[in-house]
Amino acid sequence: MGKSYNQISQTLNISKGTISYYLANNRASKKIRNQLIKKNNALSKKRVQKLVSQNRKRWAKNKINAVMEAKNDFKELYKNPLFTTGISIYWGEGDSKPDNPLRISNTDPRMIKIYVRFLREIMGVERDKIRLGLILYPDLDNKICQEFWSKASNLPKENFIKTQYIKGSHPTKRLASGICMVIANGGNPLKIKMLTWIDLLSRNL
C-alpha cells in the first residue's frame, strides 16, 4: 500500500504500462496516486528550499571572497594609473546595480580604449567575454560606426551585439559615431570587486 508504479514494477517485475492499465480506474489506486503526488510535491518543495538555502550560502561565501580579493588587489595596484583610471571611469559611467554585468556607455573613443585595456589587463576579462553595443541615430551607418569603435577598442567586430537606434535626430547634439556601450561578462564576483574598489578609492583620495 502506498507504493509508486516504479516500486511496484520493480518488485513484481511487471511493466508500468500493465500496472497502469489494471489500476487506472481503481478508486483505491487513485487515492494512493493522489497521496503520492502530494508527498512528492512536499518533497520537491523541501528540495527547492534546500537548494535556495545552499545557493544563498554559496553566494555569501563568493561575495566575501570577492571582497577580500578586491582589498588585496587594491593594496597592490593603488599606484597603478590604469587601475585607478579604470575604476574612475566605471565610477562615473558604469552601472552600479550589483546584479547587472559590468557595463559603461560613452562617446569618447579614448575612454573606451582605456577602459577595455583595464578590463583585459587589470580585471583579467578574456577578449571574447567583452561585448560592444552601439546606440545610433537612424542616419548613422552601422557598419562604419562598428569599424570606428572596433578600432578604438581593439576588439573584433564579432564582439558587437545588436545595435540600438534612437528615434528621430537632434540638430545640435549629433554624435558622429554614436554611443558605445562596453559590457563585460564575468559573473557577480567582477561586479563585487569593482564596487569594492570604488568604495576603497573614495576613502583613499
* Whether 45 and 129 share a structural domain: no
pLDDT, averaged per 10 consecutive residues of the chain (205 residues), comes to: 62 66 59 71 68 56 86 95 97 90 95 97 94 93 96 96 82 76 87 95 90
Structural domain includes residue 186: yes
Structural domain includes residue 71: no
pLDDT at 85: 97
* Whether 46 and 98 share a structural domain: no
Model confidence pLDDT, tens digit, residues 17-45: 666 655 655 555 666 667 767 777 777 76
**Among 31, 61, 91, where does a domain finish?**
61
* Whether 85 and 185 share a structural domain: yes
Range of the domain at 87: 78-204
pTM, to two decimals? 0.70
Structural domain includes residue 67: no
**Among 13, 34, 61, where does a domain finish?**
61
Structural domain includes residue 70: no
* Whether 108 and 183 share a structural domain: yes
Q: Tell me which DSSP letter residue 185 carries.
A: -
- d(CA 40, CA 51) in angstroms, rounded, equals 16
- d(CA 79, CA 82) in angstroms, rounded, equals 9
- Summary mean pLDDT of the chain: 83
149: which residues sit within 8 A by CB, 6+ positions away?
109, 112, 132, 134, 160, 177, 178, 180
Domain count, the chain: 2
pLDDT at 64: 86
pLDDT at 9: 62
* Whether 127 and 49 share a structural domain: no
Structural domain includes residue 12: yes
* Whether 108 and 36 share a structural domain: no
Structural domain includes residue 37: yes
* Whether 55 and 107 share a structural domain: no
Cross-strand pairs, 165: 136
